[in-house]
Amino acid sequence: MRRVTASARSRAGAPRGKTKLRRDPRSLRRQRLQRYALIGAALATVAGTSWMLWPSAWIERQGVALGDGLVALSGKMGLTLQSVAVDGRQQTPPEELLAAIGADRGTPLLALDPEAIRARVETLPWVKSASVRRGLDGTLTVHVDEFAPFALWQRDGKFYLVDRQGEAIAADDPGRFNQLLVLVGDNAPQHAADLVTMLGLEPELKARVRAAVWVGDRRWNLRLDNGVDVKLPETNPTAAWLELARLEREQGLLKRDLSAIDLRLPDRMVVRLAPDAKPVATKPAAPGSDT
């Protein structure tokens, strides 16, 4: 606070000695805020033009001492980490994410390297990509784009989680996603998205599909919840799938004791009875139905 000596007239009626005039606290507060704003603006300008690239060839040429001094000054001015805001997290454990971020409250914001934090976060198994942003309000914002579990891929006796694009997810606990469709066969994950889209045309029948086997890198066999195998054709599998759904609705085809339904022939359906199936009397089937 600046001290000012009173004028002669003010000293006339005052006790002997100097009198200290006190400035309006609101005025002092405004001046202090203005000073902080100017310093903060300068720091923000430096941070925006060069520090966001830290470490860089520029800062190395200027010397580490300059950078350390600026970081220290920003911390004294209150430009420190106050909170971490994360969005997009679904599967990543929060403690693993915070450990990868590695930032403590009170750390000068300019000491945090967004690119280094992003790189660490993207090493986490569930994280597909990430972005990191520092705010002058003291908030470090971390956005993560995670893999979305789409199916379970069975290979060499093990199960792996895959996303819709067929990319494997390095998760340690795929077993907790056992409600997902099981894929079998080389390159099965890369073709699963089209299969699931097709199955979705008949939601009730889709709900009964438990596994899909990619055969010969060209077509699918489906395993239903009652153990029946459905062999789809290589050409126009959608038509075969829709026909199967129609026969199930109209004739209750899947209620019969079957072990397999072969839809690979365009003009007929071949069914195989289960080994312990009891013969039943049926009417002659129309061509192209369940024969």
Domains 83-146 and 151-273 share a fold: no
Q: Provide CATH code, domain 151-273.
A: 3.40.50.11690
Looking at the chain, the number of H-run helices and the number of E-run strands are: 9, 12
Structural domain spans, the chain: 21-76, 83-146, 151-273
Structure tokens at 44: 């923000």
Amino acid 135: pLDDT: 87
Q: Provide CATH code, domain 83-146.
A: 3.10.20.310
Cα separation of 265 and 148, whole Å? 36
**pLDDT over 80 at 107, yes or no:** yes
Q: How confident is the model at residue 11 (pLDDT cuts 50, 70, 90)?
A: very low
pLDDT (tens digit per residue) in 168-202: 998 888 888 999 999 999 999 999 999 999 999 99
Cα separation of 193 and 207, whole Å? 16
pLDDT (tens digit per residue) in 136-172: 888 999 999 999 999 999 999 899 999 999 999 988 8
CA 195 to chain CA centroid, Å, is 23
pTM of the complete model: 0.66
Which residues are CB-neighbours of 172 under 8 A, at least 6 positions away?
125
**Average pLDDT of the segment spanning 116-136:** 95
Amino acid 284: pLDDT: 40
**Average pLDDT of the segment spanning 218-238:** 97
CA 286 to chain CA centroid, Å, is 51
